[in-house]
Each structure stands twice: as C-alpha cells, then as structure tokens.
C-alpha cells in the first residue's frame, strides 16, 4: 500500500521526524504540506529540503490570515509566494472563510486574495488546495471557475458536508479530500461515499485534534481503510487513492 496525505500542516507538529517515520511505516509515502503565511511557507520549504522524498510543498496564504494581516504583511507574504511558487507542488492553503469574514467588505478582501493566489497557480501551472469554512458554495464555484478556465486541478479539502454540493463537484471534475472525521462520524462517512471514486482523496489536516489527539499523517492509512471497506460496489482501492493524488498533483 502506498498513500499520500493530500492536506496537512506538518510543521505544526513537535516531533516531525517521528511523525514521518510512523507515516512511512503505515504506508503513507508522501504528504502535501500546505502553508498559511510567510513563516509557514518558509518552514514548509525547509521541510522539503530536509525530507525531499516525503514532503510535497504547498505554498499559500490562508483566508483567515488574509483577513487579519496588515497590508504590508500581505504584500510581503504574497511577494514571497510569487517568487517561490516554482518550488511548490500546489498553491494552498487558500480559499474563503466566512466564519471570520462576516461583512461584504471583509469577504471581498478574501476573494481578492484568493483570485491573486489562483493567478499565481495558473501562471505556474499548479493545482490549488482550497479551504471553504462557512463558504462551501462560494468556494466550490471558485474551484469550478479555476478548473474550467485553466484546465488545472482543484481540491476542496474537508468538503464532504453536502450531498447536493458533492453531486456538483463530481460533475465538474473537482477533487474532494476526506479526513479523520469519517473515523468518528457515520454521517461524514456516508457523505464521503457520494464522492466520485475518480475524484476522492485522503487527508489528515494534521495537527487538527480528534477526540483529544492531534492528527498525524499516519492516520491517512486508517482513513483509507475505512473508506475502502464499504465503498459502494467495491470501486475504491488504495491504488485508486494514490493514483487520484498523482493526478491532482499532475504526476500521472
């Protein structure tokens, strides 16, 4: 078995090397490490240098940070992103987050930042890795527009909240990643079964905690196993999950 964690924040763990060893022991051979701001982009690139066979760097500015950053900090971070995008495997974690951006002005600020980062992705022929908290439909529409306009892959991470929206992402060829929530919620698991087997990916969002324990890339093996066991008509395998990740990363 060979699997890829398609969305994690590896730099946020205390014992990174131990986490990588445990992941490899579990059959997780690579991880897409997404960033949130300039310091985490720098950390991600250092991790890529230290663990080049494991770390696939995602560079980007998280929408919550876009919301809170002073203009000068945004300019510095965005300049760093543009100058280092050629080193990335994807642009992320980018997107919309209307939990914090509640006014139209605040939401428009996030949209402008998202569009600027999507342009960097397009210019560098890179896929995007998207966050969508309390902005599911809006972020989905952005993913669809990006994919239609560029032909590049788009991933909605932790997006399995609505069967209606998943029907649309399936039709539009948008990747959706499923995480450890399916280990603890039958509702989340059943929604995951509606994702097209050609478009489903697995992730951990490390180090997000579940039942008091921080997630780690090794958990991808459990997520994959839970998905595969009861996936309708046995249409999902670990090889399919790996191949899907390779297509998202444009390696296939």
Q: What is the tally of structural domains in the chain?
A: 1
C-alpha 80/C-alpha 91 separation (Å) is 13
Q: Is the pLDDT of residue 91 over 70?
A: yes
pLDDT in tens, 164-220: 999 999 999 999 999 999 999 999 999 999 999 999 999 999 999 999 999 999 999
The residue range of the domain holding 134 is 3-248
Q: What percent of the chain is predicted at pLDDT more than 90?
A: 96
Res 161: pLDDT: 86
Res 252: pLDDT: 65
- Distance of CA 87 to CAs 1, 46, 81, 118, 139, Å? 28, 11, 10, 16, 25
The tokens describing 156, both together, are 């909605």
Q: Global pTM?
A: 0.98
Q: Is the pLDDT of residue 19 over 70?
A: yes
DSSP 180: G
C-alpha 143/C-alpha 240 separation (Å) is 22
Res 233: pLDDT: 87
The CATH number that applies at residue 244 is 3.20.20.140
C-alpha 57/C-alpha 48 separation (Å) is 7
């Amino acid at each position: 078995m060979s699997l890829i964690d398609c969305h994690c924040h590896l730099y946020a763990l205390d014992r990174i090397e131990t986490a990588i060893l445990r992941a490899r022991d579990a059959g997780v051979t690579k991880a897409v490490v997404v960033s949130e701001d300039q310091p985490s982009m720098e950390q991600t690139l250092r991790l890529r240098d230290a663990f080049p066979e494991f770390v696939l760097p995602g560079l980007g500015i998280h929408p919550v940070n876009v919301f809170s950053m002073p203009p000068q900090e945004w300019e510095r971070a965005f300049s760093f992103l543009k100058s280092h995008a050629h080193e990335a495997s994807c642009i992320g974690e980018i997107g919309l987050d209307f939990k914090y951006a509640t006014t139209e002005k605040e939401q428009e600020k996030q949209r402008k930042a998202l569009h600027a980062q999507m342009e960097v992705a397009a210019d560098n022929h890179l896929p995007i890795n998207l966050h969508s908290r309390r902005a599911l439909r809006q972020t989905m529409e952005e993913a669809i527009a990006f994919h239609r306009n560029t032909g590049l892959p788009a991933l909605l991470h932790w997006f399995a909240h609505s069967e209606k929206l998943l029907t649309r992402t399936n039709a539009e060829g948008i990747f959706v990643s499923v995480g450890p929530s399916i280990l603890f919620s039958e509702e989340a698991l059943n929604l995951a079964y509606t994702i097209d087997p050609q478009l489903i990916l697995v992730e951990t969002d490390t180090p997000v905690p579940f039942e008091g324990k921080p997630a780690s890339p090794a958990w991808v093996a459990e997520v994959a196993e839970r998905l595969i066991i009861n996936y309708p008509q046995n249409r999902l395998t670990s090889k399919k999950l790996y191949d899907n990740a390779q297509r998202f990363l444009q390696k296939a």
